[in-house]
A and B are shown apart, each in its own frame.
Chain A
Amino acid sequence: SQQGEEDPQALSIQEGENATMNCSYKTSINNLQWYRQNSGRGLVHLILIRSNEREKHSGRLRVTLDTSKKSSSLLITASRAADTASYFCATDEIQGAQKLVFGQGTRLTINP
């Protein structure tokens, strides 16, 4: 089952600009996570936000969570060419086993 849906599917911006990606989900969750995937590689964990948190920061990353709208956003500030990758949100359902459900991802391209 696909829980998270990212928007947009693809995003292309100039280096130095901010990039915002959105994720929507369907069921109640314990937490929501964002992962990054470089082409042809495994995923790397970026940040986890719990259902009782509204905003979290990590370096140039800012994540928000709105449980009333069942949505989250990932903001990357002052983007760099090395930020080019696919970004996925993942949720774990409150009544589910210890497993994550991933969205289809946003393909981010940073143009130098």
Chain B
Amino acid sequence: DGGITQSPKYLFRKEGQNVTLSCEQNLNHDAMYWYRQDPGQGLRLIYYSQIVNDFQKGDIAEGYSVSREKKESFPLTVTSAQKNPTAFYLCASTANNEQFFGPGTRLTVL
């Protein structure tokens, strides 16, 4: 099956801990994205990468970090500097202007 996978589906962490969310795609897409979605809200762009070993900050990058060492993988780390990390996180990749989304990871900080 071709597509985007995110893991885990649900993640619980204590306040002050760093956590890493996984995003993998086998669509051979160059560009990948991370979004945050809060309840009843739209998507806000955290980071994006248009090519391997390169990435740019989105609108709400503070408290997050990413890496893009492989074309297939674009992990997101939520650091302790992110003041309100509880949210739904969506990863996407793009081809011909259309974005393909993963199923999301729901992060809850206790």
User: Knowing A45-B99, A102-B43 touch, does A40 contact B106 (C-beta < 8 A)?
Assistant: yes
Interface size on A, residues (CB 8 A): 27
Residues of B within 8 A of A2 (CB): 42, 44
A68-89 interface bits toward B, Cβ cutoff 8 Å, 1 = contact, 0 = none: 0000000000000000000010
Q: Are A99 and B45 in contact (CB-based, < 8 A)? A: yes
Q: Are A99 and B97 in contact (CB-based, < 8 A)? A: no
Interface members, chain A 81-112 (any B CB < 8 Å): 88, 90, 92, 97-105, 107
Residues of B within 8 A of A40 (CB): 88, 104, 106
Q: Are B42 and A88 in contact (CB-based, < 8 A)? A: yes
Task: Name 29 A/B residue pairs within 8 A (Cβ), A-sorted.
Answer: A2-B44, A4-B42, A33-B99, A40-B106, A41-B104, A42-B103, A42-B104, A43-B92, A43-B99, A43-B101, A88-B43, A90-B99, A97-B48, A97-B50, A97-B56, A98-B31, A98-B50, A98-B94, A98-B97, A99-B33, A99-B48, A101-B45, A102-B42, A102-B44, A103-B42, A104-B41, A104-B42, A105-B41, A107-B40
